[in-house]
Structure 1
Amino acid sequence: MPLLTTWFLRALVVVLATGLAAIPGQASARPVVPRATALPALTFGVSLPDAPGSMQSLEDLAARLGRRPTQVMWFDAWSRGTGFPTQQAASVAAFGATPVITWEPWDPSRGTDQPTYSLKAIAAGLHDAYVTTWAKQARAYGQPVTLRFAHEMNGTWYPWAAGVNGNTAADYVAAWKRVRGVFTRLKATNVSWSWSPNVPYPGSTPLASLFPGDAQVSTVALDGYNWGGLLPGTTWQTFLDVFDDGHGEVRSFTSKPIAIGEVGAPEVGGDKAAWIRDMFATLATRPEGLTGLTGFTWFSHFKEADWRIDSSPTAFEAFRTGLATY
C-alpha cells in the first residue's frame, strides 16, 4: 500500500475513534487510545456450581458458547479435610483448561469467628500437616495448577480477613508465607500462586499491607462484581468502574500480571446484556486503567444474585457474541 494512503487511513481511524469516544451516552467517558500493535490475547475462565465434580455442565456450556474456557475455577474448604483433588484437576486438564482452586482456610458453616483457622494459627504451623499433604499430592499430580489461597482477604466476610477473627494484615502475610513455604520446601513447582483480593471499597484493608511480595506471588487476580444496588451503598457500575481503582492500586506496588479472578453482573438494577457487551468492548481496547489485564473468570453461579452466564437469553447471547471476538 502506498505510504501516503497508509498514513491517511491511520489518521482517519484516530479521528473517528476520538470522535466516537466523545459521543454522549457512551458506556465510558474515557477516550479511546489508538494502539500501534495488537493487544495480547486474554484468557477466559469460568466457575460453575457442579464443576469439576461433574464435567457435563462445563461441556454443555462450552458447546453452546462455541468456546472452551482455558481456566476452570472452584472452591475447596480446609474443613473438608480432604487431600489435593487429583481426579478433578485431571478432568479439567483433560478438558483443555488449567485447574484454579480457591483454597479456603475455614468451615463455611461457621461464619467469620473461627479461632481454629485464624491467620496466627496458620502462620504458627498448626495446619502444616494438612498443607503438607496437599503439597505432596499436588507435586505428584505434576501438571500445572493454580491455588488462590485465602482470597478477598481485604474484606470482612471470611475468617482469614484482616480485622476479623483476631487477624492483622501482617498475620495474613505470615500465613501466606508459611503455606507457600511448605510447597516450596517440598518442590511442588507445578503449583502457581494467585493472590486474589477483592476490589477496594470504602473501609477495606489497603492492599499493599496484605501483599506477601513479588517473590511469593505468581499472579494477582482481582475479584469484583457489579452489585447494581443489591448491597447497601452500591449502584449499577460498568466493568471499568468496578476494576479501575483496584488495578491502579495493585500497580502501585507490583508489576505482577493481573487477571480478573471473579466477575459477574446481576439481572436486576440494569441491563445485564448491555453490561456484558460493554465488558467485552472494554477488554478489546483495554483502556488506561486496565492495560496490564491478562484475562477473566466469570462466576456463573446463582447465589446472592443470578450471576450465571445464561441467566437470560439476552445475557447469554451477549456473552457468546463477545467471546466470538475475544
Structure 2
Amino acid sequence: MRKVLAALLALLVLSSCSFGEDKKEESPPAPPDLSAPPAPVAVRQGPFASGPVKAPRRGALVGAWIKPDALTHVGRLAAVDSLQADLGRRLSIVNTYRRFEQMVGTPSDKEFLARGATLMVSWATGDNRSILDGEHDELIRKQAKAIRKIKAPVLLRMRWEMDRPNLRATMWSGADYVAAWKYVRKIFQEERATNVSWVWCPTAEGFIRGDAPGFYPGDDQVDWTCVDVYAGERFEPIGDLMGPFLRWAAQRPKPIVIGEFGVAKAWGSAGRAAWLKDAGRTFKANPQIKAIAYFESDPEGNGPNKQFQLTGDKAAFRAFHRLVRDPYFNP
C-alpha cells in the first residue's frame, strides 16, 4: 500500500510541475528580420498608361510631404528647400494637402512646378452623398478650372485613405465613394481639366482588413493605384505591411505610387534605419512601383507611434539619404 501511495504522490507532483510549465508566460516575439531579402511579389512589368503624369519606364520617382513651420508660401518653399539641401537632390514629386475648399495653383504650387517638380495634390473632398446631391458642384468646377489653369500634369489623390474607419461618416460606403469619384471626374472632364492623373490611394491596413478594394472606382477611372503604409503601431517589414495591396495591384495594369510611407520614432534610430533600408530594397524588387513619397512630418497631437520626421535622427536620415541617392530612384 505504501508503494502505491508513493507512486500516486509522484504522479501528482509531476502533473503539477507540468501544469506550472504550461502557465508560464511566453517570451515576447522576436523583432522582424529586416535583413532578409523582400518576399517576391508577382507584378506587372509595364509600360503603363498612367495619364498625363508619365510613369518612368525604369526606376521610381522620389517625393515627399514636408511639414512647413508655417503654411505660407515662404514656409512651404523653405521646408522643401531645406530637405532638398540635406538630401543633395531635388524632389521629383511634392505632396501637398488641400481641404475641399482650398484651390490648387497657389504661389508655392507654381514655384514647385517652375522648378520641374510634379505636384501630388491630396484633396480632402467632403461628404460623398452631398457631392452626389450636387451641393458642391460650383466648388468642384472651380477646382477643375484652377488645376486646368496651371497647365502642368498633376497627380490628384481624391479623398486619399477613404477606407479609414474614422471617415465612414462622410464616405458612407464603398459604393458611395465610387459614385462620388465618377461624379467629380465627370465635372473635371466637362471643364476640360485634362492634365490630371487620377490616383486612388487607400491604406495598407484597408487591404489587411479586406475592405479597401470595395472603394475602387474601376480600371477605366483610375490612372495610378496607390497605398499609404506606415511602421507606426506595427513594426513589420514594409513588404509584409503592403503585401495584400501589392498582390491586388498586380492584377491591374496601373503604375503604383506609394503616396505616403514612414517609420515612427518610437522604434529607435537603428530600427528606423533598418526599416528604411528594407523599404528601398522592397521598392526596387517591385517594378510596378513607379513613385514613392515620404511623410516627413511630426503631426501635432500625435503620440510617439505617429511621429515620422527623419530630420534630426542621424541614423534614420542617413538610411533615407542612401535610398534617394540610389540611381534607381533618379530615373
What is the TM-score with the length of structure 1 in the denominator? 0.76
Q: Distance in 1 between matches of 2:41 and 2:170?
A: 45
Shift of 1:192: 1.6
**2: distance between equivalents of 1:247 and 1:32?**
7
Name the SS of the counterpart of 2:193 in structure 1: coil
2:295 paired with 1:299 = yes
Any conservation in 2 of the 1:99–1:145 contact (CA below 8 Å)?
A: yes
The answer for the alignment partner of 1:274 in structure 2 is 274
Deviations 1:96-135 (A, max 9, x none): 2101110002xxxxxxxxxxx3211112221110000111
Pairwise mapping of residues 1-326 of structure 1 onto structure 2 (< 5 A)?
A: 26-28=35-37, 30=39, 40-50=58-68, 53=73, 54-78=76-100, 81-105=101-125, 117-158=126-167, 161=168, 164-165=169-170, 167-201=172-206, 204=209, 206-227=211-232, 230=233, 235-252=234-251, 254-269=252-267, 271-284=271-284, 286=285, 290-303=286-299, 304=302, 305-325=306-326, 326=329
Matched residue of 2:309: which SS?
Answer: coil
Provide the C-alpha distance between the structure 2 equivalents of 1:32 and 1:213, rounded to a whole number of angstroms.
Answer: 22
Shift in Å, 1:166: 7.0
Secondary structure of the 1:214 match is: coil
Whether the 8 Å contact between 1:84 and 1:133 is mirrored in structure 2 is no
Distance change (3 Å), C-alpha of 1:52 and 1:309: farther
Task: For residue 276 of structure 1, report the CA deviation from its aligned partner.
Answer: 1.1
Over the matched positions of the two proteins, sequence identity in percent amounts to 28
Aligned equivalents of 2:104, 2:267: Cα separation in 1: 40
CA contact (8 A) 1:52 1:74 kept: no
Aligned equivalents of 2:318 and 2:130: distance in 1?
A: 47
Q: In the aligned structure 2, how far is the partner of 1:166 from the partner of 1:104?
A: 11
Distance in 2, Cα, partners of 1:277 & 1:262: 16
CA distance in 2, matches of 1:202, 1:101: 23
2: distance between equivalents of 1:65 and 1:77? 29
Distance in 2 between residues matched to 1:322 and 1:311, nearest whole Å:
17
Kindly name which structure, 1 or 2, has the bigger radius of gyration based on alpha carbons. Answer: 2
Question: Hey, what's the Cα distance between the residues in 2 that align with 1:312 and 1:188?
Answer: 41
Normalising to structure 2: TM-score of the pair?
Answer: 0.75
- Unaligned ranges ≥5, structure 2: 1-32, 43-56
Query: Deviations along 1:37-67, whole A, 9 cap, x unmatched?
Result: xx81111010011278321121121111112
**Counterpart Cα distance in 1 of 2:192 and 2:171:** 32
CA contact under 8 A between 1:155 and 1:205: conserved in structure 2?
A: no
Structure 2 contact 141–187 (Cα < 8 Å) conserved: yes
**Alpha-carbon contact 2:59-2:287 (below 8 Å) kept:** no
Tell me the distance in 2 between the aligned counterparts of 1:221 and 1:100: 12
How far apart are residue 27 of structure 1 and its match?
A: 3.1
Amino acid aligned to 2:289: L
CA contact (8 A) 1:207 1:250 kept: no
Residues 1:306 and 1:221: Cα distance change in structure 2 (over 3 Å) = same
What does the per-residue CA deviation read over 1:210-241, in whole Å, with 9 as the maximum and x for residues that have no partner? 111122111111111011xx3xxxx3111211
Structure 2: how far apart are the matches of 1:146 and 1:165? 23
AA at the equivalent of 1:292: Q
Asked if structure 1 preserves the Cα contact closer than 8 Å seen for 2:38 and 2:239, the reply is no
Cα gap change, 1:203 to 1:223, in 2 (>3 Å): closer
Q: Is the 8 Å Cα contact of residues 207 and 245 (structure 2) preserved in structure 1?
A: no
Greater share of residues in helix: 2
Of the two structures, which has the highest relative contact order with CA contacts closer than 8 Å and spacing of 6 or more?
2
2:173 counterpart letter in structure 1: T
